């Protein structure tokens, strides 16, 4: 097995881990003894000083390395779920540690689990919850989570008690309440285990959301049942009164609704906070984690359902937070969250395995353990079938037999049950060890056996799989149309259904919530359709550049004969013909589609000059439009900085435009229009990308000034250096992007006081010879290209240094170094 090789280091580490604590004893003594006599020591070995964090770090490392190991062999991971592998690994590691130490020094403690390992996983689940799907199936999820869990707990506990009365289990010091307590903690489907297994199975999204949503929301039920029965056990069976039972039911509502409320309140706070983090972009992601963690702790403090709190915090805040924070922060949040969740999951499963290697906790009772396994599976299946039967009378999309099988089979138990059972007080629950052993067996059985077999089962039953499809603009548009139609139909037919409620909610959200919780600029771009549009454009731009890189140059011009082409006649009879015909975003897919308005125009129009004018006009209009929006949007917030930023933007545009023109003139020759169209499309996408760079302002000033000076030096030396297009073009697409980004970055700080700022209306544009026509230049732009240059190249030499800097290591490094500051001056996302 391939995986084993990679595990080598892990073994080594583990051995070190088990030996270290013993070494400590040996080391400490001489260290302590000599320390006093020898005075100052150059080097001391202070294991005990770092012991705890060191061991934690080592464990994390071991777990992570193990994960690498598993994934070296694709065969293994495609068959065995990672969670199962981790448990097995944990068992082996636990065995080694125990063999070396003879005490189980590392176990999964409830504190560790509930305070540090569980929250990231649940937060991740909530924050990335597909909200629409979740709320669309909320009724179903709630029924399974509440009724289903109560049913499981009651039937399992009572059945076990029944069997116990029959004497099959032998002699156990155990009462009805203990059985119910055990039933309540073993009943709940575990979110961590379900997520780990179902993520690899890829069943259809409805099925997934039902099982997963159930596992998240049943926490409240579990917590309440567990607390109720625990207090009953403490009280003693005979002292439990009817009032206590009523209190239990009341506490269920308090715990679940209270937990949810705490989550919603914190989500509100979090959204509100991120609205104002514009100037502290760097710590922006931190708020997301800290505030949601606080929601977890707060509800834990109030003994409400912490899982519900953090889940709903994630669910409710996601929309606003994602809109408020910058794209970079969003990426940071996404990756950090995934990393924490995945790391926590890894550690949980590994420690479940390790915790099992402790002879002290094991108490075997074949009948009890086997019957528990049988009961939880059987009752789960019965519960699912019964509830689905009820639900299907109300559901629009029926849950079929196959779905029910998967749902029953997917009822995995996990670390929550284990942590709860470990929390039991041995003095009150006499058979705690039996419960612990049984819980471990149940977890191992469900995670390993069911986890292993669920994939073949899903394949065998031909369960509808989820399909990964690219977002399609048409699909989104039609979907939106359907939403409105449906809510209208419900309005007209006078019903209150999902669509009605959703419609009302989105109106409320747009009118009030978004206004409070979203930055003004974000209110606009948050629209889903726009997002898809934006994504598609970005993707096109990237693939365009990647294609260029693949061919070794950005300068590829695809001839119509070899490329796929699609033409759409955009020239509809509109009053503003010019605008209407070219003011679309050019979208093209390098491999399949080619939509080139300019070439179409070209074909349609015989008079070339007119066409030139159109392009010229469009280009100009297009490039300057964002600035107007920008002004409009930001004048309210940033009155003082406005002028500067405007100029930055201006210069950025200039740079872009010139770059564009130079590309055109240098490379295309054949068809300037096509090129221009492509370039400006790409440019727009690029701009959009750039514009989302956070403008967190760093207090570092000196490097910035340093850089500005250097840049000016370059500027001065520029005229002597003939711009070298070829070099840059050869460097390929990605670098082009990078360069532009650099340009933007470098432009910004110095652009503020840039003396070579030329107004657009410079009348001499057309007559002036662009600098790229200087002697030594190899490529001469066509007359048309020159005519098309919309603006004076008077400040063109500002661009040149950067172009040259594409080759120059110094300035590149500089640019890199000052990247963060330069971002400070970049505008935020302003337009879509």
CA–CA distance, 713 with 718 (Å, rounded to integer):
8
CA–CA distance, 791 with 787 (Å, rounded to integer):
10
Contacts of 743 by beta carbon, 8 Å cutoff, 6+ apart? 652, 655, 656, 659, 799, 802
Q: Please choose, out of 114-122, 193-201, 430-438, 490-498, the segment that lies near other proteins by the rule CB under 8 A.
A: 490-498
Least Å from the CB of residue 488 to other proteins: 4
Least Å from the CB of residue 275 to other proteins: 15
Which residue, 136 or 248, is less far from other proteins as judged by CB?
136
**How far, CA to CA in Å, does 228 sit from each of 100, 502, 649?**
41, 36, 63
Q: Please choose, out of 11-19, 283-291, 441-449, 468-476, the segment that lies near other proteins by the rule CB under 8 A.
A: 468-476
**How far, CA to CA in Å, does 191 sit from each of 77, 92, 200, 310, 406?**
21, 25, 14, 13, 16
* Tokens 């709940």 belong to residue: 188
DSSP characters for 775-814?
TT------HHHHHH--S-GGGHHHHHHHHHHTT-HHHHHH
Phi-psi map region of 593: left, alpha, beta (phi>0 left; psi -120 to 50 alpha): beta
Least Å from the CB of residue 683 to other proteins: 15
CA–CA distance, 28 with 14 (Å, rounded to integer):
21
Least Å from the CB of residue 464 to other proteins: 9
Q: Of residues 51, 131, 366, 507, which one binds other proteins by CB under 8 A?
A: 507
Q: Of residues 504, 550, 637, 807, which one binds other proteins by CB under 8 A?
A: 504
- Please give the backbone phi and psi of residue 418, each rounded to the nearest 5 degrees, phi first: -65, -45
Q: Of residues 190, 214, 300, 490, which one binds other proteins by CB under 8 A?
A: 490
Q: Does 599 bind other proteins (CB under 8 A)?
A: yes
Which residue, 246 or 477, is less far from other proteins as judged by CB?
477
Least Å from the CB of residue 189 to other proteins: 25
Q: Does 562 bind other proteins (CB under 8 A)?
A: no
Contacts of 820 by beta carbon, 8 Å cutoff, 6+ apart? 696, 698, 700
- Which has the closest alpha carbon to 821: 696, 688, 643, 714? 696
Least Å from the CB of residue 101 to other proteins: 56
Least Å from the CB of residue 20 to other proteins: 56
Q: Does 479 bind other proteins (CB under 8 A)?
A: yes
Q: Please choose, out of 27-35, 594-602, 715-723, 776-784, the segment that lies near other proteins by the rule CB under 8 A.
A: 594-602
Least Å from the CB of residue 173 to other proteins: 52
- Which has the closest alpha carbon to 121: 209, 196, 201? 196
- Per-residue binding string, other proteins, 758-787, x by CB under 8 A, is ------------------------------
- Please give the backbone phi and psi of residue 404, each rounded to the nearest 5 degrees, phi first: -65, -35
**Beta-carbon count within 10 A of 640 CB:** 7
- Tokens read off for 106: 């590392």
Least Å from the CB of residue 536 to other proteins: 7
Q: Of residues 6, 60, 457, 585, which one binds other proteins by CB under 8 A?
A: 585
Which residue, 456 or 560, is less far from other proteins as judged by CB?
560
Q: Does 734 bind other proteins (CB under 8 A)?
A: no
Cβ atoms of 262 and 295 within 8 Å: the answer is: yes
Q: Does 560 bind other proteins (CB under 8 A)?
A: yes
Q: Does 671 bind other proteins (CB under 8 A)?
A: no
- Which has the closest alpha carbon to 314: 335, 329, 295? 295
- Tokens read off for 212: 């997963």
Which residue, 22 or 478, is less far from other proteins as judged by CB?
478
Least Å from the CB of residue 789 to other proteins: 25
* Tokens 């499981």 belong to residue: 152
Q: Of residues 398, 635, 717, 764, which one binds other proteins by CB under 8 A?
A: 398
Q: Please choose, out of 383-391, 403-411, 577-585, 719-727, the segment that lies near other proteins by the rule CB under 8 A.
A: 577-585
Q: Does 279 bind other proteins (CB under 8 A)?
A: no
Q: Of residues 15, 374, 566, 766, which one binds other proteins by CB under 8 A?
A: 566
- Per-residue binding string, other proteins, 787-826, x by CB under 8 A, is ----------------------------------------
Q: Does 587 bind other proteins (CB under 8 A)?
A: yes
Q: Does 583 bind other proteins (CB under 8 A)?
A: yes
Q: Of residues 495, 605, 764, 774, which one binds other proteins by CB under 8 A?
A: 495
- Tokens read off for 75: 């065969």
Which residues, 115 to 144, sit near other proteins by CB under 8 A?
A: 136
Q: Does 482 bind other proteins (CB under 8 A)?
A: yes
Q: Does 577 bind other proteins (CB under 8 A)?
A: no
- Please give the backbone phi and psi of residue 665, each rounded to the nearest 5 degrees, phi first: -70, -35
Instruction: Please tell me the total number of residues recorded for the chain in this structure.
Output: 832
Q: Does 474 bind other proteins (CB under 8 A)?
A: yes
Q: Of residues 52, 569, 720, 761, which one binds other proteins by CB under 8 A?
A: 569
Q: Of residues 212, 229, 533, 802, which one binds other proteins by CB under 8 A?
A: 533
Contacts of 237 by beta carbon, 8 Å cutoff, 6+ apart? 175, 176, 177
* Tokens 């100037």 belong to residue: 279
Q: Does 492 bind other proteins (CB under 8 A)?
A: yes
Q: What is the dihedral of CA 786, 673, 806, 539, to 10 degrees?
A: 160
Q: Of residues 102, 462, 469, 636, which one binds other proteins by CB under 8 A?
A: 469
> Which spans in 113-148 are helix H?
118-127, 131-136, 138-143
Q: Does 589 bind other proteins (CB under 8 A)?
A: yes
Which residue, 214 or 503, is less far from other proteins as judged by CB?
503
Which residue, 75 or 528, is less far from other proteins as judged by CB?
528
User: How many CA atoms within 13 Å lie on the side-chain side of 133?
Assistant: 14
DSSP characters for 321-389?
HHHHS-HHHHHHHHHHHHHHHHHHHHHHHHHHHHHH--GGG----HHHHHHHHHHHHHHHHHHHHHHHH
Q: Does 617 bind other proteins (CB under 8 A)?
A: no
Strand-pairing partners, residue 465, are 203
Q: Please choose, out of 236-244, 364-372, 581-589, 770-778, the segment that lies near other proteins by the rule CB under 8 A.
A: 581-589
Angle made by CA atoms 430, 433, 437, in degrees to the nearest 5: 145
Least Å from the CB of residue 563 to other proteins: 9
Least Å from the CB of residue 186 to other proteins: 35
Contacts of 467 by beta carbon, 8 Å cutoff, 6+ apart? none
At what angle are helices 451-461 and 82-101 packed, to 10 degrees?
Answer: 170
HEC-encoded secondary structure of 582-630: HCCCCCCCCCCCCCCHHHHHHHHCCCHHHHHHHHHHHHHHHHHHHHHHH
- Per-residue binding string, other proteins, 510-529, x by CB under 8 A, is x------------xx--x-x
Contacts of 585 by beta carbon, 8 Å cutoff, 6+ apart? 533, 537, 681, 684
Q: Please choose, out of 172-180, 409-417, 596-604, 742-750, the segment that lies near other proteins by the rule CB under 8 A.
A: 596-604
Q: Does 496 bind other proteins (CB under 8 A)?
A: yes
Q: Please choose, out of 5-13, 272-280, 428-436, 561-569, the segment that lies near other proteins by the rule CB under 8 A.
A: 561-569
Q: Does 568 bind other proteins (CB under 8 A)?
A: yes
Which residue, 431 or 490, is less far from other proteins as judged by CB?
490
Write out the residues near other proteins by the rule CB under 8 A: 136, 396-398, 467, 469, 472-475, 477-482, 484-500, 503-504, 507, 510, 523-524, 527, 529-530, 533, 536-537, 560, 564-570, 572, 580, 583-585, 587-589, 592-593, 595, 599-600, 603, 625, 831-832
């Amino acid at each position: 097995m391939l995986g084993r090789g990679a595990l080598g280091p892990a073994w080594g580490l583990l051995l070190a881990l088990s030996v270290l604590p013993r070494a400590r004893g040996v080391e400490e003594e001489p260290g302590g003894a000599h320390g006093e006599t020898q005075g100052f020591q150059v080097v001391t070995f202070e294991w005990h000083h770092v012991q705890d964090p060191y061991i934690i770090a080592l464990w994390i490392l071991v777990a992570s390395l193990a994960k690498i190991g598993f994934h070296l062999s694709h065969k293994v991971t495609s068959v065995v779920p990672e969670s199962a592998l981790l448990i097995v690994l944990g068992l082996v590691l636990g065995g080694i540690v125990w063999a070396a130490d003879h005490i189980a020094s590392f176990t999964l403690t409830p504190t560790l689990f509930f305070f540090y390992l569980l929250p990231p996983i649940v937060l991740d689940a909530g924050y990335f919850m597909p909200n629409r799907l979740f709320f669309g199936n909320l009724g179903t999820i709630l029924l399974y989570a509440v009724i289903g869990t109560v049913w499981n707990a009651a039937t399992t506990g009572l059945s076990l008690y029944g069997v116990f009365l029959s004497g099959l289990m032998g002699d156990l010091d155990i009462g009805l309440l203990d059985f119910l307590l055990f039933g309540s903690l073993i009943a709940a489907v575990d979110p961590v285990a379900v997520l780990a297994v179902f993520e690899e199975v890829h069943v259809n999204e409805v099925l997934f959301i039902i099982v997963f949503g159930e596992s998240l929301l049943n926490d409240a039920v579990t917590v309440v049942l567990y607390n109720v029965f625990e207090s009953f056990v403490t009280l003693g069976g005979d002292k439990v009164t009817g009032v206590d039972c009523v209190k239990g039911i009341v506490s269920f509502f308090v715990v679940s609704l209270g937990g949810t409320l705490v989550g919603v309140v914190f989500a509100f706070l979090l959204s509100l906070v991120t609205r104002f983090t514009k100037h502290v972009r760097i710590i922006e992601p931190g708020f997301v984690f800290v505030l949601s963690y606080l929601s977890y702790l707060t509800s834990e403090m109030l003994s409400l359902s912490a899982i519900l709190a953090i889940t709903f915090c994630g669910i409710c805040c996601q929309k606003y937070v994602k809109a408020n924070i910058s794209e970079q922060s969003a990426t940071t949040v996404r990756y950090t969250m995934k990393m924490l969740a995945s790391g926590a999951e890894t550690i949980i499963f590994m420690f479940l395995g390790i915790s099992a290697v402790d002879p002290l906790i094991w108490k075997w009772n074949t009948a009890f353990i086997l019957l528990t396994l049988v009961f939880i599976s059987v009752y789960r299946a019965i519960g699912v079938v019964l509830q689905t039967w009820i639900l299907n009378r109300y559901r629009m999309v029926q849950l079929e037999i196959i779905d029910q099988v998967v749902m029953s089979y997917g009822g995995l138990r996990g670390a929550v049950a284990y942590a709860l059972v470990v929390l039991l007080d041995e003095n009150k629950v006499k058979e705690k060890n039996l419960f612990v052993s049984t819980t471990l067996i149940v977890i191992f059985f469900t995670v390993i056996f069911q986890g292993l077999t669920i994939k073949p089962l899903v394949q065998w039953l031909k369960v509808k799989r989820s399909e990964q499809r690219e977002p399609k603009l048409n699909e989104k548009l039609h979907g939106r149309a359907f939403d409105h139609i449906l809510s209208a139909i419900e309005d007209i037919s006078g019903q209150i259904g999902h669509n009605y409620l959703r419609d009302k909610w989105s109106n409320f959200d747009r009118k009030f919530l978004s206004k409070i919780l979203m930055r003004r600029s974000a209110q606009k771009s948050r629209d889903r359709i726009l997002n898809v549009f934006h994504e598609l454009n970005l993707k096109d731009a990237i693939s365009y550049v990647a294609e260029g890189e693949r061919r070794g140059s950005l300068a590829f011009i695809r001839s119509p004969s070899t490329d796929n082409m699609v033409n759409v006649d955009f020239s509809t009879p509109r009053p503003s013909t010019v605008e209407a015909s070219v003011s679309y975003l050019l979208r093209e897919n390098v491999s399949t589609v080619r939509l080139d308005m300019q070439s179409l125009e070209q074909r349609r129009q015989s008079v070339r000059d007119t066409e030139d004018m159109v392009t010229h006009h469009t280009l100009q209009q297009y490039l300057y439009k964002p600035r107007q929006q920008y002004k409009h949007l930001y004048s309210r917030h940033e009155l003082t900085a406005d002028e500067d930023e405007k100029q930055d933007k201006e210069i950025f545009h200039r740079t872009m435009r010139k770059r564009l023109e130079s590309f055109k003139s240098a490379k295309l020759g054949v068809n300037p229009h096509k090129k221009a169209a492509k370039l400006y499309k790409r440019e727009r996408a690029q701009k959009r990308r750039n514009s989302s760079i956070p403008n967190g302002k760093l207090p570092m000033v000196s490097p910035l000034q340093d850089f500005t000076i250097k840049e000016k030096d370059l500027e001065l030396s520029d005229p002597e250096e003939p711009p070298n297009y070829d070099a840059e073009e050869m460097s390929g697409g990605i670098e082009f992007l990078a360069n532009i980004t650099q340009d933007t970055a470098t432009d910004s700080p110095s652009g503020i006081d840039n003396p070579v700022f030329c107004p657009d209306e410079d009348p001499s544009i057309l007559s002036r010879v662009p600098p790229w026509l200087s002697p030594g230049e190899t490529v001469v732009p066509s007359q048309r290209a020159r005519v098309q240059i919309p603006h004076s190249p008077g400040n063109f030499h500002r661009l040149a240094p950067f172009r040259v800097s594409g080759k120059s290591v110094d300035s590149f490094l500089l640019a890199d170094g000052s990247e963060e500051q330069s971002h400070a001056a970049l505008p935020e996302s302003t337009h879509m």
